């Protein structure tokens, strides 16, 4: 009887040991692991910028989405392991600091002010402030030609204020709630020019319903160095930089530019070197 009791107790202990080992193995898979190989990775993107980052009934699309997907793959995550989270401009630093996302690729310009709060990998795209014009527009050939013209941007935009203060102080600045509203005004003739980053403008102009209706001015009024934001001190920065270098070297970067901006005849800058931030 004693032998049976000892054997039964040993069996129980063995079962518990196996269960504990199995649980321990599962613990190694962190849903939000920053080192790759976990169950999922959460990435911040824009949901409302065609050509950059857009949520559609078919899924997510845009240049930033393609870049983020490539980077995630290099970190060990398949496309089905990515959880996309909307990152509005005003929320980006807070989302990174709280750990809501592992990284953000959302037309996120690298600035000294932002670098005090978060770290940036990249840059991975050099954009410029520009204007979008109707395809048949022939009188607006430089920023100065925007004087006495109806210039549109979204409420609170620094792009429009930059034109108004320094480049065309007599421009009739009108602010709309969204870029889409500006685009409708441009199409109808109520607006003469829409201003923001050229990459964002190219994304809108590249939509099938607008093909051939708009053109970029090509003014290059500012430099906007798009970077991938990570939490301050994160080891992801170096890993993402390596992934971005690979994306350029294997041709995936050029393919993503052509796919997302090509229909707008976007004359993009060459892929920037990592750490080369143009002022």
Per-residue pLDDT of the chain (279 residues; tens, 9 = 90+): 444 444 444 444 344 343 444 444 333 333 344 444 558 999 999 999 999 999 999 999 999 999 999 999 999 999 999 999 999 988 999 999 999 999 999 999 999 999 999 999 999 999 999 999 999 999 999 999 999 999 999 876 778 888 888 899 999 999 888 888 899 999 999 999 999 999 999 999 888 888 889 999 999 999 999 999 999 999 999 999 999 999 999 999 999 999 999 878 788 999 999 999 999
Q: What pLDDT does 164 receive?
A: 86
- Vertex 21: Cα angle to 19 and 25 (nearest 5): 115
Query: If 0-12 CB within 10 Å is exposed, 13-18 middle and 19+ buried, where does residue 269 land?
Result: middle
Structure tokens at 102: 């592992």
Contact between residue 53 and residue 45 where contact means Cβ atoms under 8 Å apart: yes
Q: Which residue's entry shows tokens 């107790």?
A: 9
Q: Which residues contact 102 (CB under 8 A, 6 or more apart)?
A: 32, 34, 41, 42, 43, 230, 236
In angstroms, the CA 45 to CA 167 distance is 31
Residue 227: HSE in the Cβ half-sphere, 13 Å Cα cutoff: 29
150-154 and 53-56 strand pairing: unpaired
41-127+224-264 and 128-216 have identical folds: yes
Q: Which residues pair with 194 in a beta bridge?
A: 132, 152
Q: What pLDDT does 162 receive?
A: 85
Domain boundaries, the chain: 41-127+224-264, 128-216
Contact between residue 212 and residue 133 where contact means Cβ atoms under 8 Å apart: no
Cα–Cα distances in Å, from 123 out to 83, 111, 196?
23, 11, 19
Query: If 0-12 CB within 10 Å is exposed, 13-18 middle and 19+ buried, where does residue 138 land?
Result: exposed
Q: What pLDDT does 211 receive?
A: 85
Q: Which residues pair with 197 in a beta bridge?
A: 129
Q: Which fold has domain 41-127+224-264?
A: D-Maltodextrin-Binding Protein; domain 2 (3.40.190)
Q: What pLDDT does 29 receive?
A: 36
In angstroms, the CA 73 to CA 14 distance is 39
103-104 and 41-45 strand pairing: parallel
- Sheet of strand 59-61: strand arrangement: 48-49, 53-56, 59-61
Q: What's domain 128-216's architecture?
A: 3-Layer(aba) Sandwich (3.40)
In angstroms, the CA 245 to CA 213 distance is 35
In angstroms, the CA 127 to CA 78 distance is 28
In angstroms, the CA 228 to CA 114 distance is 12
3-state SS class at 262: helix
Q: What pLDDT does 4 receive?
A: 44
């Amino acid at each position: 009887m004693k032998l049976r009791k000892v054997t039964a107790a040993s069996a129980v202990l063995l079962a518990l040991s196996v269960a504990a080992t199995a649980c321990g193995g599962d613990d190694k898979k962190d849903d939000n692991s920053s080192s790759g190989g976990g169950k999922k990775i959460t990435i911040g993107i824009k949901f409302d910028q065609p050509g950059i980052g857009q949520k559609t009934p078919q899924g997510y699309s845009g240049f930033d989405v393609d870049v983020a997907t490539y980077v995630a793959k290099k970190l060990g995550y398949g496309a089905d392991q990515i959880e996309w989270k909307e990152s509005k401009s005003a929320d980006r630093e807070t989302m990174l600091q709280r750990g809501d996302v592992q990284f953000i690729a959302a037309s996120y310009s690298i600035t000294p002010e932002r670098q005090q709060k978060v770290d940036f990998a990249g840059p991975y795209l050099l954009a410029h402030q520009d204007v979008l014009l109707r395809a048949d527009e022939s009188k607006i050939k430089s920023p100065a030609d925007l004087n006495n013209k109806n210039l549109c941007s979204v409420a609170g935009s620094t792009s429009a204020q930059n034109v108004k203060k320094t480049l065309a102080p007599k421009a009739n600045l009108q602010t709309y709630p969204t870029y889409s509203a500006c685009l409708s005004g441009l199409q109808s003739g109520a607006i003469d020019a829409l201003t923001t980053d050229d990459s964002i403008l190219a994304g809108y102009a590249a939509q099938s319903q607008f093909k051939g209706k708009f053109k970029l001015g090509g003014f290059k009024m500012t430099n906007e160095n798009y970077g991938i934001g990570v939490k301050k001190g994160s080891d992801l920065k170096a890993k993402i930089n390596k992934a971005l270098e690979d994306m350029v070297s294997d041709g995936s970067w050029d393919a993503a530019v052509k796919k997302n901006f090509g229909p707008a005849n976007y004359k993009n800058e060459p892929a920037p070197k990592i750490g080369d931030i143009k002022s």
